[in-house]
Amino acid sequence: MDKVYVISEHAATYHQLLAAAQLPDLAVTHNAAEATIWLADPPLAVSKLPHANALRWLQSTFAGTDALIQAPFRHYQLTNVRGIFGPLMAEYVFGHLLTNTRHIGQYAKQQAQCHWQPQPYQSLHGQTLAILGTGAIGQYIATVAHAFGMKVLGTNQTGRSVEAFDHTMTLPELQQRLREVDVLVSTLPATDKTHQCLNAAFWQHAQDLFFINVGRGATVDEPALIHALEAKQLRGAVLDVMQQEPLPESHPFWTHPKVTVTPHIAAVSFPDQVFKLFTDNYRRWHAGEPLLHHVDFDKGY
C-alpha cells in the first residue's frame, strides 16, 4: 500500500480529486515522513524534503522543478507536468504580440481622449519568429505562428530537426542570425547551461527585436536586457518570469517604457489537468511501468 502526501496551494482540491478517484492501493496521509508518493508544488515541498524518509516518487504540480533540482536531496524519482501548457503559452504570447503590433493599448488611450488617429502597423504574416526550445510548448507556439503565416525558427542543444519548425539550430547559431529575427520567444528551462545565456553577447546581433520570455528568469542577464532595449537592439520585452519573484518594487523593469511585466501567469497549473497526469502516472507506478515526464536532476529538466 502506497501513501500519498499532498502539499500544494490547491491541496483541498487535490484531496477531493483523490477521494473521488479511489486509486488502487493508495491511501492519503497528512504525515510527510511516511508518504511514499508526494503530489507537490515544488517551492512548498523543498522545506519538507529532509523529513521525506519514505519518499520514492514526487509528482510535481508544476512544469518547472527548479526548487527541487537545487535542493540536496535526490533519493526519489521526480516527474513534472508536461503537454498541457502549450495552448496557454500560445495564448499569452500572441495576445501580447498582437497587442503590441496592432497598438491595442494606444487605441485604448485614444478612446479615453476621444481621439481618432489610425496607427500604422505591419502584419505578422511573413515575419520571422524564433523560439528558444523545441519541446511541447515551443512546438505548439510554432504551430500557431504558422497559422499567422510566420516563418518559425527553433533552437535546441544539437540543432536537430523538429517537425513543427521551418528550421532548427543551436543557440550560438541563432545568435549569429538574430538580425533576421523579428520576434524571439524563450521557453528555456533554468539549467547550468542556460544560466544568463541571454546576455550582452547574445543580443549584439539583434536589431529592433521583440522579446517574450515565458521560460525562466534565470536565463536572462537583466542589466544586459535593459541595455539592449536602450540601444534599440530590442524594441520591446514582455517578461512573465524574472530572476527574483515577486519582482522587487525598486526593479527598473516596473517603470521601463519598453518592458511589460506579468506575475508568472502565462500558464498556470489547473488541478484537474495536473491530477489527470498524476492518475495516469500512478497507474504506471502501480503496474511497475516507467513513469512519464521524468525529470533528470543533472540536466535540470
- Give the 3-state DSSP-derived string for 13-30, with helices as H, strands as E and coil as C: HHHHHHHHHCCCCEEEEC
Instruction: Return the half-sphere exposure (C-beta side, CA atoms, 13 A cut-off) of residue 244.
Output: 8
Inter-CA distances, 290 with 18, 57, 61, Å = 22, 12, 19
Mean pLDDT of 170-195: 96
Contacts of 68 (CB under 8 A, 6+ apart): 42, 45, 46, 49, 58, 60, 78, 295
Angle at 100 between CA 183 and CA 253, to 5 degrees: 85
Q: How many residues does the chain have?
A: 301
In this predicted structure, what is the pLDDT of residue 73? 94
Instruction: Return the half-sphere exposure (C-beta side, CA atoms, 13 A cut-off) of residue 224.
Output: 14
pTM for the model: 0.91
In this predicted structure, what is the pLDDT of residue 301? 87
Inter-CA distances, 181 with 107, 137, 178, 228, 262, Å = 27, 19, 5, 15, 24
Alpha helices in the chain (DSSP H): 11-21, 42-45, 66-70, 86-101, 104-112, 136-147, 171-176, 200-203, 222-230, 271-286
Which residues are catalytically annotated? 216, 264
Q: Which amino acid is at 49?
A: L
In this predicted structure, what is the pLDDT of residue 300? 86
Residues 210-244 have pLDDT tens digits of 999 999 999 999 999 999 999 999 999 999 999 99
Residues 286-301 have pLDDT tens digits of 999 999 999 999 988 8
In this predicted structure, what is the pLDDT of residue 299? 87
pLDDT tops 90 at residue 171: yes
Strand order in the sheet with 259-261: 167-169, 151-155, 128-132, 183-186, 209-213, 234-239, 259-261
